[in-house]
Amino acid sequence: MEPCHPILARAAPEGSDWCHEVKHDGWRLIAHKDAGRVRLWSRTANDLTAQFPAIAEAVGALTPAVLTLDGEAVVFRPDGHSAFSALRSRRAARAAQMIAFDLLEMDGDLRGEPLHERQRQLERLLKGAPAALKRSETIIGRGPEVFVQACALGLEGIVSKRLDARYRSGRALTWLKIKNPAFVRR
């Protein structure tokens, strides 16, 4: 399943029909569970299951028999910032978390549902989930303010998504990436 790819934009959109999330500095990750077997893939279809066993175990512990999550594998530093270089370390196998931002499948294909519905179901699914799985927090509306705050915190930027958008593979104008021009990778 090819993931949706955000399009680089110069500014965050305004309006209550958009939500905004922190752009973590990590590896894009698709997690798929089917009848107890869990596989983790990068956005370029590399199998990362063995590299992130804690994430794979956490996905396996979720109750649906079939599910697919879209998110980012991230290792957080003590200051709360993500550390891209830590994903290549030995400790990443247990320290990495999947920050899930979309639910594509849960005992049935959800890609045709609007984002706000997929996010509602994702929130319910991840309540009480193991520590290696977190839901990406979203803010509805106020895109320019969210972006300014992300930059002030030294984050990579934000991803803005239309709440009524269906999930589609490839590049989509309903997912925008707004990068912090002063971001420094850690």
Cα–Cα distance between 90 and 152 in angstroms, integer?
A: 31
Is 23 an active-site residue?
Answer: yes
CATH fourth-level superfamily of 4-179: DNA ligase/mRNA capping enzyme (3.30.470.30)
What average pLDDT does range 42-69 have in this prediction? 95
Question: Which pLDDT belongs to residue 92?
Answer: 84
Task: Read off the pLDDT band of 91 (50, 70, 90).
Answer: confident
SS in 3 state form for 74-93? ECECCCCCECHHHHHCCCHH
Among residues 23, 33, 134, 161, the one annotated as catalytic is 23
Backbone phi, then psi, for 17, in 5-degree steps?
-95, 5
CA distances from 46 to 43, 58, 72 (A): 7, 20, 14
**Digit-coded pLDDT (tens) for 101-131:** 999 999 999 999 999 999 999 999 999 999 9
Question: Which pLDDT belongs to residue 125?
Answer: 97
**Digit-coded pLDDT (tens) for 142-186:** 999 999 999 999 999 999 999 999 999 999 999 999 999 999 887
CA distances from 164 to 111, 118, 119, 175 (A): 12, 10, 11, 11
Locate the domains of the chain by residue range.
4-179
